[in-house]
Chains A and B, each alone.
Chain A
Amino acid sequence: MEKLLEIKNLCTHFDSRNGCVNAVCNVNMDIHRRQIIGLIGETGCGKSVLGQSVLKLLPKNACITGKILFEGKDILKMSVKELRAVRGHKIAFICQNPAEALNPLMKNGTQIMESVRINQALSKKECRETSIDLLNILGFSEPKSIMHKYPNELSGGMKQRVLAAMGMSGYPSLLIADEPTKGLDAIKRRQVIATIRKFTETTGCAVLIITHDLKFASAICDTIAVMYAGEIVETGDMEALFNDPKHPYLMALIKSQPCKGLNVLNGTVCSLIDLPSNCRFFDRCSYAAGICQDQHPDLLTLNEAHRVRCLKYV
């Protein structure tokens, strides 16, 4: 499969008054066309920063090193103009909060048509037809009436689909969804899954899903990368990862789900400011051995797709 996005040795750190915060350390990741990849991890593990780094949407005190090759071109070296052409057109974004992402004073139709017109040179009539098609694809039974309504007349799930329609108008090749289920009902999660599925089926784009929700990730992703304290600690196929987790962190995480027995993983994540030189999971690991105390593990290849950062498998 062709590589769409290639992240090489990406490091992102922030200068703060308390010291340098290493949010992302040496991350390597490939996203292929049509792949749905999930980036899972807990609050403060750097997964959102990684997602924002890809679009260079970070505050000024951030420093990004490494390479992010999108269709062969390094995003980090792009000019503002080139970057604008990529954002929104080739890389679409589904945001956390659909309620605030639509302009409440504009009709849904106007907003969708606007984004269609930015992305494709079409007449007004063609724009309208394209927008109706898009809404149809996303499962609205009466797209015309939706076009004439205002955002506040729609439910949260519908708003998200309208947003998805806007994102689809440019036929992007990559969709980034940052915590699309945060704060949502378990019931509404399914709508999100359906929306993202529809999106990928029609546009054929790859998806990067950033989430802390294991169930959601397992329902939608082909490939999973697990992050802990700024590093990727395990990557592999979704099935392999969830059925046979290798890294002690992922094992504990899976076991701590309510449906898997609610087993507690004690302790807290180490500070991103003064990172330990040994394994970052050492303090909380139930398999910790002598060598774990003085050695920092590298990402180890177990088989073709499954890689893990743990000294247990050396």
Chain B
Amino acid sequence: MFEVRNLSKVYNSGVINKASLKAVDDVTFSVDRGETVGIIGESGCGKTSLAKMVLKLLKISSGSMYLNGEDVSSIRGEKLKSYRRKVQIIFQNPESSINPHMKIYDCIAEVLRINKLASRKSEDEKALIYQLISMVGLQQEHLNRYSWELSGGQIQRVALSRVLALKPELLVADEPTSMLDVSVQAQVLTLLRSMQREQGFAMLFISHDLDVVRVMCDRVIVMFMGKIVESGTVDQVFSHPCHNYTKSLLEEYECLR
């Protein structure tokens, strides 16, 4: 359903001593409908740059992306808007993912208003928002609060409800639980899984935690220095790693048990 071909991102810096950094280097992969693909790798291996390019928040240096067979690598205007309805993101850091000057109600209503899913301050809007927050397990009292009055887990729930409002086809989860506690991580991950089952969206799950990836994903991609070094189903990669980097990754990881 979603496909990325030879995608690269190069950062240039300096005027006299031109230096370029390949954050993402010739990456090719695809995601099927309803499937969860994990991307693992160290911090700084280009995972987040990749996510932002998929969201079209970052310019692509070279390569192409396809959604449902349609080339989306250089769309603009209305087409971009409809693409963004279909592809959504959840960020890592709960502290910065919601505008601190807005109440939670407005945060969720914003999504509906921008995409004209309900008219401003109508009964429809209210009903829709109540339905959304009950889906992610929040109470109505939370709607009147600001983001800094909520815990990290609750903010990730708000972020998820914003995403669900648009009924996306692909959700990019950029380390959604790496800043959360163990018990809250379990709450958010199970919620994510049940929502996926309900709405049937595909998920690109970025994480450095192999345990989480093992639980959440069907297939997994290992990234190292901007390149894909290994990919396959979770069982394949975890039980028979081929690439040396994957092997050392798993080895280091096993030591922690």
A touches B (Cβ under 8 A) = yes
**What number of A residues sit within 8 Å (CB to CB) of B?**
30
**Which of A87-95, A201-209, A211-219, A230-238 binds B?**
A211-219
Most buried by B among A43, A185, A215, A218: A185
Closest B residue by C-beta to A268: B151
CB interface residues, B 218-257, toward A, < 8 Å: 249, 252-253, 255-257
- Given A43-B152, A187-B208, A219-B256, do A259 and B214 touch, yes or no (CB 8 Å)? yes
A129 to B237, CA, bound (A): 47
Q: Are A263 and B184 in contact (CB under 8 A)?
A: no
Q: Does B209 contact A (CB under 8 A)?
A: yes
- Given A256-B186, A259-B214, do A215 and B152 touch, yes or no (CB 8 Å)? no
Inter-chain contacts of A262 with B (CB < 8 A): 186, 189-190, 215
Q: Are A259 and B183 in contact (CB under 8 A)?
A: no
Closest B residue by C-beta to A215: B256
Inter-chain contacts of A253 with B (CB < 8 A): 182-183
A256 to B216, CA, bound (A): 14
Closest B residue by C-beta to A194: B255
Q: Are A252 and B151 in contact (CB under 8 A)?
A: no
A193 to B178, CA, bound (A): 19
- Given A262-B190, A268-B151, do A186 and B208 touch, yes or no (CB 8 Å)? yes
A214 to B185, CA, bound (A): 13
Q: Are A185 and B208 in contact (CB under 8 A)?
A: yes
A265 to B186, CA, bound (A): 8
Q: How large is the interface on B (under 10, 10 to 19, 20 to 34, 35 or more residues)?
A: 20 to 34
Inter-chain contacts of A190 with B (CB < 8 A): 252, 255-256
A268 to B188, CA, bound (A): 13
Q: Which of these, B183, B216, B256, contacts A186 with CB under 8 Å?
A: B256
Inter-chain contacts of B182 with A (CB < 8 A): 42, 212-214, 253, 256-257
CB interface residues, B 156-215, toward A, < 8 Å: 178-179, 181-187, 189-190, 208-212, 214-215
Q: Are B151 and A187 in contact (CB under 8 A)?
A: no
| Cβ proximity bits A245-286 to B, threshold 8 Å, 1 near / 0 not | 000000011001111001111101000000000000000000
Most buried by B among A216, A219, A256: A256
A44 to B152, CA, bound (A): 11
Q: Are B256 and A265 in contact (CB under 8 A)?
A: no
Q: Which of these, A187, A216, A266, contacts B187 with CB under 8 Å?
A: A266
Q: Which of these, B187, B214, B252, B253, contacts A258 with CB under 8 Å?
A: B214
Inter-chain contacts of B253 with A (CB < 8 A): 186-187
Q: Does A183 contact B (CB under 8 A)?
A: yes
Inter-chain contacts of A265 with B (CB < 8 A): 183, 186-187
Most buried by A among B43, B178, B183, B187: B183
Q: Does A189 contact B (CB under 8 A)?
A: yes
Q: Does B42 contact A (CB under 8 A)?
A: yes
Instruction: Report B188 CB to chain A, min CB distance, Å.
Output: 10
Q: Are A264 and B187 in contact (CB under 8 A)?
A: yes
A256 to B215, CA, bound (A): 12
Instruction: Report B199 CB to chain A, min CB distance, Å.
Output: 20
Q: Are B186 and A263 in contact (CB under 8 A)?
A: yes
Inter-chain contacts of A219 with B (CB < 8 A): 255-257
Closest A residue by C-beta to B251: A190
Inter-chain contacts of A264 with B (CB < 8 A): 183, 186-187, 190
Q: Which of these, A43, A189, A193, A218, contacts B151 with CB under 8 Å?
A: A43
Instruction: Report B213 CB to chain A, min CB distance, Å.
Output: 9
Most buried by B among A186, A213, A265: A186
A268 to B214, CA, bound (A): 26
A212 to B185, CA, bound (A): 12
A258 to B187, CA, bound (A): 11
Q: Which of these, B178, B181, B210, B212, contacts A43 with CB under 8 Å?
A: B181
A155 to B43, CA, bound (A): 12
Inter-chain contacts of B209 with A (CB < 8 A): 186, 258
Inter-chain contacts of A259 with B (CB < 8 A): 211, 214-215, 257
Inter-chain contacts of B185 with A (CB < 8 A): 256, 258
A-B contact pairs, 10 of them (CB 8 A): A42-B182, A42-B184, A190-B255, A214-B182, A252-B183, A258-B209, A258-B214, A262-B190, A264-B190, A268-B151
Interface residues of B (CB under 8 A from A): 42-43, 151-152, 178-179, 181-187, 189-190, 208-212, 214-216, 249, 252-253, 255-257
The 4 A-B residue pairs with the shortest CB-CB distance, nearest first, are: A256-B186, A42-B181, A258-B211, A265-B183
Starting from the known contacts A256-B186, A262-B215, 6 additional A-B residue pairs (CB-CB under 8 Å) come to A187-B42, A212-B181, A219-B255, A256-B185, A258-B189, A263-B186
